[in-house]
Every structure is written in structure tokens, then in C-alpha cells.
Amino acid sequence: MLDVPFIYIANIVFNFYNILICLFIIFALIPSIIKNDKAALYFSITCFFTILFNLGDIPNWCCEGPGKYNHTLLLVGTVIYYLSHPFIFWFYLEYMKEYLPQKKIIEFFIKIFMLFLIVYSILTLLSIKYNLFFYITPDNYYKRGNFYSVSIGLIGVFFFMTFMILVANHKYLSNVQKISFYSFFIIPFVLEIVQILNYGLSLVNMGITFSMLIIFINLHRNLEIKLYMTESQIRKKQELISEFQENTILSLSNLVENRDTDKGNHIQRIVKYIEILAKQAQKDHVYPDIIDAKYISILLKAAPLHDIGKIVVPDKILKKEGKLDTQE
């Protein structure tokens, strides 16, 4: 058994889930790319750098400490992790440009973005020798460098510029496009807060990947359905994606349930309670523009994840039979 903390194993599992989802999206978009769909191309490249982002993160959880190849893997992984992050924003910006009308203004922002990107990339590479953003200690542990805050600031600039371009073009987007594009910013930001509150848990990567999946489902998959697929193919694609989503949720809920001390089918009871409440809310016309049969269906699929926080609760607290003390 590897001497790796449970939370590190969970982070590695999340990384591999993210990689698989992005690979699925890339392969699904190949027909559109072949037909010279620039939006599909830029979105695939965004997914590619998201894969690199997750690959670079894995050595951080399993290669610290002594080992024949650990130092090289940790250093290479750290460089890839830092370098790939801004490229995700860059190609996401190029992707959004295909949907937005103010292309000249966007081109101007992209030039400024490129300037910051070059500076960021140079400083990242210099960090290998001069410990600017990060450094690897002699006993092979990752540490933040003296100018780590500069890297965070530059990533903040990439985030802010991309977000402001989206806000400036808000009125030109359909509701589906708004939900899709804004998810790229909102989901990782929310998970960043959860990550800060649960030290050691890595969720931002998953936030980026889930937003990619939302965009793919709302925009590219629907476009493919309208242009290229017959009714039977539509059903097969929807079943495949639905099965993929349900398997992902099932795997995560199983991860939670394995740590649960309640053996009385807690998750199944919660799902049933939510179903009763949601259907009653629909009957009483509570939020009638939101709560419908489709909404309730999605809600029930997501319900098993309501205790996801148990993943990071130590066993001595989670399984303690008596009362918790003040520190716990």
C-alpha cells in the first residue's frame, strides 16, 4: 500500500476524471474540427491545455519526497502546471471570440493578453533556476517562491480580462450561451472557495472541467444534433452522455458513502425526501419558471453528492462515537 494520504489519492482521482472528460470532449469534436469549425478547434485546444493542467498537478500529490525519478517528475509537472493555466484562458478567449460580435475590440485585448502571457511564461521558466514562482527543496518538496503572488496576480489578470470581455458582450448572447460561458468563471471560483476552506483538497481543476462539459453539452452537442445527426443518433448520444454523467456522479457518491458511518441507506432516503419536496414545490407553483420535470430529474441525479464534504473530514471526527470537543 502506498504511503499517500487519502486526500492526495482523492485529488489524483479527480485529476484523472478531468482528463477523461476532456479527452471525451476532444474526440467528440473531431468531426466538427474536420469540417473547419473554428469554435470547435479552439474549444478542443482549451480542453487539451486543461488536460496538461491536470497532468502537471498529479506529481504534486505523488512525487514529493525521495525516489529515483521523483525530483524530475515533480519539477516537470510543476512547470507544466504553471505554464498550462494561462493558455487555458487564452484559447477560451479565442473560442468565445467566435460567438461575440465585437471582434476588433477582442483582438486588441488578445494582444494585451499575449504580452502578459509572454511575461508569465518567461518568469515561470526562470523559476526553475531562480525560485521566482516556485522551487523544489533539496529533499524534493514543492514550495512557493518569493514571487508566487506575482503568478497569482497575472492569473487574476487573465481571468479578469476574459471575464470583462464576456460581460461587455453580455447583451449579444442567448440565455444558453450566457449559462455556458459564465460557468467557466463561476464554477471554478465557487470551488476555489470550497478548496480554501478544505485545505489539501484540489477542486479548481474539476471546476474548469465541469464548465467545459456544460459548454460542450449546451453548445457543441446541440449544434451537432441540429446539423449532422438523425433522431436515432440523437437518442444514442444523449444516452451516452447521460450514462457518462451518471457514472461520474455515482463514482463520487460511492466515494462519499464509503466514508459514511450511517449504514441505513442515508443517500437513498435523502434522494426520496428531495423528490417529495421538489414535486410538492412544483405542485404549489414555487419558482414555476425553474422547477419542472427536467429540473427535478437533474436534482435527483445530483442529490447523492450532498455530503461530498465528508471526503475531507478526518476519520477520528467522522467516526467518533461520542460528542465532538471544541477543537473538533
Tell me which residue has cell 459564465: 182
Determine the Cα–Cα distance for residues 222 and 225; give it in Å rounded to an integer.
Answer: 5
142 contacts: CB under 8 Å, gap ≥ 6: 60, 64, 74, 78, 134, 136
CA dihedral (96, 98, 104, 107) in degrees, to 10, reads 60
Planar angle of CA 294, 295, 299, nearest 5 degrees? 120
Residue pair 213/269 in contact (Cβ under 8 Å)? The answer is no
CA-nearest of 300, 254, 307 to 279 is 300
Count how many Cα atoms sit within 13 Å of the Cα of residue 302 in the half-sphere of its side chain: 6
Side chain identity, residue 224:
E
Tell me, rounded to whole angstroms, the distance of Cα 295 from its chain centroid: 22
Burial 287-317 (b: 16+ CB within 10 A, else e): eeeebeeeebeeeebebbbebeeebbeeeee
Is residue 87 within 8 Å of 42, Cβ to Cβ?
Answer: no
**What is the grid cell recorded at 296?**
427535478
Which has the closest alpha carbon to 209: 43, 86, 77, 61? 43
Query: Taking Cα atoms as reference points, which of 178, 213, 224 lies closest to residue 35?
Result: 224
Question: What integer pLDDT is reported at residue 46 of this predicted model?
Answer: 96
Bridge partners of residue 144, in order along the sequence: 134
Query: Quick check: 253 and 305 in contact, CB under 8 A?
Result: yes
Query: Mean pLDDT by 10-residue block, N- to C-terminus, for the chain (328 residues)?
Result: 68 93 93 87 96 95 87 95 95 89 76 92 95 94 93 91 88 85 90 78 88 85 51 69 74 67 69 91 90 88 79 78 84
pLDDT at 87: 95
- Measure the CA dihedral 132/135/138/139, to 10°: 160
Dihedral (C-alpha) 248, 251, 253, 259: value to the nearest 10 degrees? -150
Q: What is the pLDDT of residue 1?
A: 35
Cα 36 to Cα 41, 114, 127, distances in angstroms? 8, 24, 38
